Amino acid sequence: MSFGARKADRVQFSNPLTVHIMSIDGTWRRTCKMLDVSSTGALLLVEGSLEGLQLKEFFLLLSSTGLAYRRCEMIRISGDEMGVRFLEEKKGRKSKGREATA
């Protein structure tokens, strides 16, 4: 299924990558297959139910150790396919604090 025009070029995988989504507080986790990815988001095939899960903001774990991850939000869902957008890290918080105390 196509989700329409993309803002960034996507890379499709001939063998989807196994990844996980996990809540910000770590209370739930689901296994997924990453079907495609770009610099701004990804298309995931979710294993298991998403019913009742908080999908406004969560982690996409790209490695088994959790050292490679992206903070995401769900953009759209169709059956067991979910489109996610990568969220930007908030920058400048530490530097602003240092300027205030300097």
Give per-residue pLDDT as tens, 39-82: 999 999 999 888 888 899 999 999 988 789 999 999 999 999 99
Q: What b/e readout covers 54-63, taking b as 16+ CB neighbours within 10 angstroms?
A: eeeebbbbbe
Per the structure, the complete domain to which residue 84 belongs is given by 11-101
* pTM beyond 0.85, yes or no: no
Is the pLDDT at 4 greater than 60? The verdict is no
Does a structural domain hold residue 49? yes
Determine the Cα–Cα distance for residues 31 and 35; give it in Å rounded to an integer. Answer: 13
- Helices marked H in 1-102: 93-101
Determine the Cα–Cα distance for residues 44 and 66; give it in Å rounded to an integer. Answer: 17
Does a structural domain hold residue 47? yes
Return the ∠ at Cα 23 (arms to 20 and 94), rounded to 5°: 110
- For residue 52, the model assigns a pLDDT of 85
* CATH code for the domain of 87: 2.40.10.220
Does a structural domain hold residue 48? yes
The domain tally of the chain equals 1
